Structure 1
């Protein structure tokens, strides 16, 4: 089996394929290649001969407007001949207009397959100076008129690109079969169509057919939009519509039980295909209708949650007045996720995978490219966005420099939200109605579990689609496979699609068979289609292959478990996810911007008020925590941001680190427990402590990954730092033991560090080791810090003034604490204080010189050089712990305290500058420690008490009114969420708590 590829792939070609597939996948394919296939060389040769000497060609004005049109004239004529030979073209019901529309659809399919090859061949001739013309347009015309019009040349192309020829034939054959099947179904179903959709009257003639609104499955089959002569529109779907019927039956029943009217659209199910009427959108006439719309949507959101429907994106919901109408329900009913990872993190991911978020209806960011996210949820805002998948676009059309590039096209979400006075409403303003509908359905289901199980039996007796991969992935593969290199031979097509091995979670022993099916489908330019029967554990594909026992349990059994675990705590968890999602996607994005503002009218500052505020945060944290099945572990979902402005985000599981993970939440709960003896805080702290201990033991056994971050806030150094803080608070030597154990784990990988900075890299780890040396007296830790420092010094970039470190993805060294010079100064200042090494003093002076070169007198701040969308000046006026004056102030104070001999005048001047910058003029909407008011106020509390009390009073008022930025309110993290805000309140009541913003163990 392997001899075929061994002969084909040698030398340079082996190196090419190794880059495409990777060595492991390529070598495996060479050894185990199956060259059997269904391509018929005789058929391909027949098509090539026809195009070389066509007995007829298809001529049309619309076709002559297309690129390379002479190439397609014989191909379309060949298809017409195929239709005529089976009596499928002269049908009365297909008018000339309809026939032309079918040919346009076929042309788009053929062009998508062949365009890159034709461009490639034109460029070959151009490079050989065989195209005449005064400009690139004339050269293109010469190629079209003197080459593509020649049958011999067309034949040469089809013979040279054998894969192209076969795929073109498959496209035409499949399209012929589908159109014949559609016409037969139209003829056979005509009487029933009349009864269901036309009140018994004959439907008349077809005025228009539109195809291609959905992906092609089952041999080129797709949805057809049928417009009749009287203007009525039906949709033909080449699949059973029993799924849609069952959904409507369950929704109608549930809506009635919740005292709401429901809207249903007419459906004619014929087993393997079906028809449905078009849902006509319409506006609401008053506010009450909008509120009822979102209540009904909440009911349907619950059905999708309970039945594990995971494909409710914006195209699958239509706003019909006060009725949300769900369409295209081929994934109903779905199957609940069954994860085998029983760790706390594994259980948490299972909870998220089965949560209301995974329905696809809520506005969750699902992609990230160029620093931008895309929200495709059915309840998302109506706005222009860029598609997450890249699609081919012709550039420099009809020139000899024509090309196809992949780009992210813009699209606009429309029709998925109710409109009032002609304008789509902001769904975030109706979150209460949405939640009320969801919880009403939830309570009814919890109280009537038997009824829901009984109703579900009929639904799970049918087949429903399963998405093993994102269909966008298939599209990207087929687009790339259109490259001329892959189009020369079918074995190259098949081999290219073995990339599927490199991006799959399909388990063994089914992986090889499933990828073999996917390859076969993609070679015909079909999107692979999988389905499951609700009562069985097998998976099926569109070619009829069965993958026995693919699932451990049937979808019905998984649904039964979903119903059984309905409870108050889960309802609260789902409600929180709904509120979080809508809060993070308001129509007015300014409502979640951490912009500068004026202080509010706060509450009086007392120790009691601060402790009560911290307790409120502690209760909120425990209320939305997730517990393991045995109740011994805790975890929270958190918000992970990407992009500079925090407008793009995703929901994720907490890490183990201090910045946004368990260590940070544990620090707050431990301080709350220490000060108040609050029982919930004590229980939460003890469970987190146990989890961190287990985490350290796991790393001791299994080791850290080579690229694990090492920093003192968002890396393994933060776990060491957390243990040391607990040792400082509780005086229990056990914490010191675990700090040393965790250090053992990090010692094996710190030399791999590429982050370098305080937050995620070795600069932060150095500080953790310096403290370990202080508390243990073990010279080993000081030597580790010195070695990490030397490693960093060797990577310093010499600048026009001084030196810095280009940490992470930044192109230039930054100012500030988290990724900039001040963070490195903190690390080296601690080292110099303990060793008095002149090299450390030198790098500190260089860092000071470079950072001060970024000081801008007009801003009275150090320029933030991060690349910010919309700001090309490179001089952002950030005022926060992470970037700008506050963090720089902390570094200068450390130098003044521990390294008074290093540039004292420069340090004193910087302290004065920073203090004059921080105050009410830089007040923000956010209160987090990293980039909000609590962080800034904490840093200047001793020198600007009035400002700090303003911050504390304001945050206490916000806690009481629950009016905080959603990215803080719904974030359990320490540096960017409510745990850190709670810690700031505790530190006001008890100044003896460690000063974590100063990366200290002291107050």
Structure 2
């Protein structure tokens, strides 16, 4: 749920909260502490509604007072009684009904926990959970807060009493008992005390848990080493028992011990059958889902989950969140503004005190200890499988396994919408969208239960016995069945544990931590200018080509079941989180790009490598063809046109004839062009240069022109598409790519109004680019610096301006100055030399290879127009290709942080380095992928 920030929360609308409670809870004899507890909840629920109503009344002139503050007081003191309560009940009856359900559930829980605490005070004192000063209980001294999810009237509660705290959990604690026994066994074997869980008092269907404080480490270096070794132990057990959701809020650093303060999902089981386009994809997804990444302790998103940043238990606390800040408090124009913020939480991290300041340890300095701890436990279990399994079997009939069908964040969002004035009365729309997310599964019973629980203002909860295959909701209804029971999967995992699997997980841990640290600290990465060896030799480039091909072939997964293949590739998702997932089939980031790179490289490879490449091409062909059916985008880079371009080439390599089918598919793409967006990377602007426009009819030209005319945003003497503030001089997402489409439309449009309009748009689009021209390159609005990449900045300018020059050089009616275009070419070349070759990335899209391949492609232009000394430019390109390969062979290829898990894609990974180097060595100046090539 989005958090509401408000510094004067208890004062805002205080008359409403008190009147609401008096009106709806008159039958309850409540203590002041209970009233204060409910007032906070009432304000949380009704804040948006009250802000809506006060602003409505302000605009209607109903509020009395000469100032905004006086009118707020009138609303709060006079109207926030029966008047507003009745209006809300009439306009938002479902909101009121749900809020009362939630508030009464909270109150009942409060009273239940209050009574249990009163009853169990002697036990808590006896077990030193609280001190003797709590013996003479006074209710007014007790404060209770509900923490985390709320299920069926129950939730985790933190009790504050006379400066002391204790935790209440309304469930059995068999999972904790299992973990304590396992860690006790490991402790005996390792001769260590391994107390990773808080002490507890078992009371049957509930238990009390010791409150754990975030405390410092005393002996810094020795204790930090111990902490991370123990974290390795914890990580190993979490991996072996399929414990998931161990994010930063569930781990606490208590001195040199990582404490597990919540174990919600032990014996985790993925309830859904893995849906995939090929069997190779399914196998990779399954392997990924069973890895150490599942635990949530490591900073990497799984392929089936997206986090708002790094929420891991070991680094975590860095994530993107949204807060609602209340503005104009105590005024009648009070409002809520949403702010996206990057939050940092450190309470789960170990620290020491130096000169009165908290100094936090960094896992990068103790990675060896972490890995040692992980390997020590897994190696022990690998040799003592029966002993380990015998402990687990004792609990196989006791443990309830929580099953997560959706991210709890999704449930929280829906619950928030059900209490909003805008959506509360239109819940059918919310629930219909909710159901549609599971449209690929037989999920009617599940969705009905989810809706029923959400209507009760609960976070839906489902569970199964660890030795069963049936999933039940809180009401005892069976809603789902799985192929295996959770305990079966644990048995299988432990029985199959091997040295090879342990090493695979070992590498994943190392990769996950090191790659994420580099993601947040790219300045620390080395640059190719650090390479000092000047003994240039083409043999280094050939070795580099062979090395990359070797890495590609070594990492490929082949499925003989359906003759398909894929790679588990590294990427960054839309919330800045690293993830490993199978590749799609696109040219930009998928199998088509890899296929093009391998095909181009074959003539440079030794015979045995050439044979290996040829042996995987049929698998690539089958995979791309199968995946093509699922594409919904038509663009050259992210959709069908690029895949069709690849399939034409690939089909010839595997002895297939696809020409007729490709032509039919291109016609289908053309028929849909009139509904596209103008983006170059993802939209129609990359399709137009890839088709033979002269074969299209005039109506199509006019329709395409209308798209650009309608979506253009004009201002003064310039034009742009999209958002002005974030609009860079960009080939991928800015005017540069769109200009390539416009200039081609101008050439085929007859003398019509559209031709004149498109010509004007082209000129104004270039004006917009010129506005962002600086002494060095063009401003990059993402960081207010200047970039030289294919996607953003000077490299895209160079490609775009040369293309415009070539398209217009024989057009006597052109209004674009060829001299200006040449000046942009020179300016962009200078910027590429200045910043484009000292990047911490070797990729095509935003790295050095893209810049070098661009310079290779543009050599003829420089020759023909005497723009630069071409000998010096060729020497410059040669030296930098050499630096890439010397660095790559010695240190690894810098694509997505140079880890043991590569990005294999053409534009973001090592296939792009292979492709660029191959074309350079073959002296091939074509621009098949830098700019869209004619597909047919």
TM bracket (short chain):
0.7 to 0.9
Q: Conserved in 2, the CA contact under 8 Å of 1:373 and 1:648? A: yes
Q: Given the alignment of the two structures, is residue 716 of structure 1 paired with residue 636 of structure 2, yes or no? A: no
State the secondary structure of the residue aligned to 1:945. Answer: helix
Q: Conserved in 2, the CA contact under 8 Å of 1:785 and 1:831? A: no
Structure 1 distance, partners of 2:557, 2:256, is 36
Structure 2 distance, partners of 1:258, 1:766, is 67
Change (3 A) 1:294 1:967: same
Alignment coverage as a number of residue pairs: 886
Q: Given the alignment of the two structures, is residue 345 of structure 1 paired with residue 277 of structure 2, yes or no? A: no
655, 670, 692: which one aligns with 1:734: 655
Q: Given the alignment of the two structures, is residue 375 of structure 1 paired with residue 295 of structure 2, yes or no? A: no
State the secondary structure of the residue aligned to 1:211. Answer: strand
Q: Conserved in 1, the CA contact under 8 Å of 2:129 and 2:210? A: no
Q: Conserved in 1, the CA contact under 8 Å of 2:317 and 2:344? A: yes
Q: CA deviation at 1:579?
A: 3.9
Q: Given the alignment of the two structures, is residue 752 of structure 1 paired with residue 672 of structure 2, yes or no? A: yes
Q: CA deviation at 1:803?
A: 11
1:520-568 per-residue CA deviation (whole Å, 9 max, x = no partner) reads 3333333222222111112222233333x52222111233343355456
Change (3 A) 1:277 1:694: closer
For residue 414 of structure 2, what is the aligned residue in structure 1? 477
State the secondary structure of the residue aligned to 1:539. Answer: strand
237, 243, 250: which one aligns with 2:175: 243
5+ residue gaps, structure 1: 1-61, 84-88, 90-98, 771-780
Structure 1 distance, partners of 2:716, 2:46, is 57
Structure 1 distance, partners of 2:91, 2:727, is 53
State the secondary structure of the residue aligned to 2:795. Answer: helix
For residue 591 of structure 2, what is the aligned residue in structure 1? 662
Q: Flag the structure with more relative contact order, 1 or 2, with Cα contacts below 8 A and sequence separation at least 6.
A: 2
913, 918, 924: which one aligns with 2:832: 918
Structure 1 distance, partners of 2:84, 2:751, is 76
Supply the RMSD in Å over aligned alpha carbons. 4.6
684, 692, 696: which one aligns with 2:621: 692
Change (3 A) 1:855 1:506: closer
Structure 2 distance, partners of 1:412, 1:247, is 29
Structure 1 distance, partners of 2:428, 2:631, is 35
State the secondary structure of the residue aligned to 2:517. Answer: coil
User: Which residues in structure 2 correspond to 1:908-987 (within 5 Å)?
Assistant: 908-920=822-834, 922=836, 923-940=838-855, 943=870, 944-959=873-888, 960-962=890-892, 964=894, 966-967=896-897, 969=899, 970-987=902-919
State the secondary structure of the residue aligned to 1:178. Answer: helix
Change (3 A) 1:326 1:618: farther
Change (3 A) 1:146 1:479: same
State the secondary structure of the residue aligned to 1:236. Answer: strand
Q: CA deviation at 1:932?
A: 1.7
Q: Conserved in 2, the CA contact under 8 Å of 1:283 and 1:419? A: yes
User: Which residues in structure 2 correspond to 1:359-398 (within 5 Å)?
Assistant: 359-364=295-300, 373-382=308-317, 385-387=319-321, 394-398=326-330
Q: Given the alignment of the two structures, is residue 269 of structure 1 paired with residue 202 of structure 2, yes or no? A: yes
Change (3 A) 1:423 1:704: closer
Change (3 A) 1:567 1:957: farther
Structure 2 distance, partners of 1:556, 1:426, is 36
State the secondary structure of the residue aligned to 1:215. Answer: strand
Structure 2 distance, partners of 1:603, 1:961, is 17
Q: CA deviation at 1:601?
A: 1.8
Q: Given the alignment of the two structures, is residue 291 of structure 1 paired with residue 225 of structure 2, yes or no? A: yes
Q: Given the alignment of the two structures, is residue 354 of structure 1 paired with residue 290 of structure 2, yes or no? A: yes
User: Which residues in structure 2 correspond to 1:872-911 (within 5 Å)?
Assistant: 877-891=786-800, 893=802, 901-902=810-811, 905=819, 908-911=822-825
Q: Conserved in 2, the CA contact under 8 Å of 1:336 and 1:558? A: no
State the secondary structure of the residue aligned to 2:569. Answer: strand
Change (3 A) 1:806 1:433: farther
For residue 863 of structure 2, what is the aligned residue in structure 1? none
Q: Conserved in 1, the CA contact under 8 Å of 2:689 and 2:744? A: yes
Q: Conserved in 2, the CA contact under 8 Å of 1:209 and 1:224? A: no
For residue 466 of structure 1, what is the aligned residue in structure 2? 403
Q: Conserved in 2, the CA contact under 8 Å of 1:63 and 1:69? A: no
Q: Conserved in 2, the CA contact under 8 Å of 1:881 and 1:887? A: yes
Q: Conserved in 2, the CA contact under 8 Å of 1:331 and 1:466? A: yes
Change (3 A) 1:436 1:76: farther
Structure 2 distance, partners of 1:845, 1:725, is 38
Q: Conserved in 2, the CA contact under 8 Å of 1:725 and 1:994? A: no
Q: Conserved in 2, the CA contact under 8 Å of 1:334 and 1:555? A: yes
Q: CA deviation at 1:665?
A: 1.9
State the secondary structure of the residue aligned to 1:854. Answer: helix
Q: CA deviation at 1:805?
A: 8.8
Q: Conserved in 1, the CA contact under 8 Å of 2:631 and 2:639? A: no
Change (3 A) 1:710 1:200: closer
Q: CA deviation at 1:966?
A: 3.7
Q: CA deviation at 1:218?
A: 3.9
1:110-142 per-residue CA deviation (whole Å, 9 max, x = no partner) reads 333344455555556555544321222222322
For residue 69 of structure 1, what is the aligned residue in structure 2? 15
For residue 243 of structure 2, what is the aligned residue in structure 1? 309
User: Which residues in structure 2 correspond to 1:203-602 (within 5 Å)?
Assistant: 204-205=135-136, 209-215=142-148, 217-227=150-160, 233-254=165-186, 257=189, 261-264=193-196, 265-284=198-217, 285-336=219-270, 339-341=273-275, 343=278, 344-364=280-300, 373-382=308-317, 385-387=319-321, 394-403=326-335, 411-420=343-352, 421=354, 422-461=358-397, 462-484=399-421, 492=425, 495=428, 498-499=431-432, 501-502=434-435, 504-505=437-438, 509-511=442-444, 513-547=445-479, 549-567=480-498, 570-571=501-502, 573-586=504-517, 589-591=520-522, 598-602=529-533
Q: CA deviation at 1:417?
A: 1.4
